[in-house]
């Protein structure tokens, strides 16, 4: 696995995450020419990391797993740099970019244990330790799902009123739930957590929450 391939997979994942993926945006993200992107995308298709073209690119299971692995390394290093070495937030990203490519899984696991398995990087992005359900094609709005769907909270819109509301319900990124009930006529959504506790989320709030839908088939 080369540094270049890791950078491309991370870039594809990150841009799909923000729903802004195209060859042009990927070239800008990686600071390379559009021609370089076109050539590498052909290579990634040939080697089984992606399918599709331009904004319709989809990471295969192989590509998704490797993208998540490099992102996990990057975010763990950001936590380490800020918490342990007291780097400033505007300095940590560049250093983490260098360290992520030289980090073995053995070292990564020791770092995670040392840091107490943090759930978020200093930017507030989730650090994922289990990747079975983390295909970006499974991300949906909470408001679009159905009863009995199993979900993991992925991203909450950065609105203070929403954050305060969800804090009162103890709903945070990385929490797991099952949708037990959805009231008709734009009613609220009832979520059951792993402790069998049920919380009720207003529909307007659910429209601002992105979740991973766990595929069971």
The domain limits of the chain are: 3-59, 64-115, 136-213
* Run means of pLDDT, 10 residues per run, the chain, 217 residues: 87 84 92 94 94 86 89 94 93 93 93 87 78 64 93 85 92 87 94 92 95 72
Structural contact between residues 11 and 29, judged by C-beta atoms closer than 8 angstroms:
yes
- pLDDT, residue 176, reads 85
Please, is 155 exposed, middle or buried when counting C-beta atoms within 10 Å of its C-beta (0-12, 13-18, 19+)?
Answer: middle
The predicted structure's pLDDT at residue 125: 78
pTM over cut 0.95: no
CATH code of the domain made up of 3-59: 1.10.10.10
The yes/no answer on whether domain 136-213 falls in CATH 2.30.30.90 is yes
Note the pLDDT of residue 110.
93
Q: Which pLDDT score, from 0 to 100, does residue 77 have?
A: 97
State the Cα–Cα distance between residues 194 and 25, nearest whole angstrom. 39
Task: Tell me what pLDDT residue 64 has.
Answer: 87
**Packing angle of the helix pair 61-83, 89-100 (nearest 10 deg):** 130
Domains 3-59 and 64-115 equal at CATH topology level: no
Residue 89's CB is within 10 A of a number of other CB atoms, namely 11
pLDDT of res. 132: 45
For the chain, strand residue ranges (E) read 50-51, 58-59, 139-141, 150-156, 176-182, 189-193, 198-201, 209-213
Two tokens at 155?
């991203």
Q: Could you tell me which of 157, 154, 173, 170 has the C-alpha nearest to residue 212? A: 154
Q: Residue 133 has what pLDDT?
A: 47
Question: Under CATH, which architecture does the 64-115 domain have?
Answer: Orthogonal Bundle (1.10)
pLDDT of residue 215: 66
Please calculate the CA angle 118-49-176 and round it to the nearest 5 degrees. Answer: 35
Structure confidence at residue 209 (pLDDT): 94
CB count within 10 Å of CB 20 equals 14
């Amino acid at each position: 696995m080369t540094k270049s391939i890791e950078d491309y997979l991370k870039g594809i994942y990150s841009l799909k995450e923000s729903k802004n993926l195209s060859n042009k945006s990927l070239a800008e993200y990686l600071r390379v020419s559009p021609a370089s992107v076109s050539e590498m995308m052909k290579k990634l298709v040939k080697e089984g990391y992606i399918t599709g073209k331009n904004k319709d690119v989809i990471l295969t299971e192989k590509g998704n797993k490797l993208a998540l692995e490099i992102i996990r390394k990057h975010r763990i290093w950001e936590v380490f740099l800020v918490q342990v070495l007291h780097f400033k937030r505007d300095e940590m990203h560049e250093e983490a970019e260098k360290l992520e490519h030289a980090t073995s899984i053995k070292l990564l696991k020791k770092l995670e244990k040392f840091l107490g398995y943090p759930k978020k990087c200093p930017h507030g992005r989730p650090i994922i330790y289990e990747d079975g359900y983390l295909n970006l094609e499974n991300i949906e709005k909470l408001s679009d799902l159905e009863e009995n769907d199993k979900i993991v909270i992925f991203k909450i819109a950065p609105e203070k009123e929403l954050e305060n509301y969800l804090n009162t319900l103890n709903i945070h990124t990385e929490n797991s739930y099952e949708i037990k009930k959805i009231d008709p006529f734009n009613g609220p959504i009832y979520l059951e957590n792993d402790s069998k506790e049920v919380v009720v989320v207003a529909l307007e709030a659910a429209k601002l929450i992105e979740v991973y839908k766990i595929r069971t088939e």
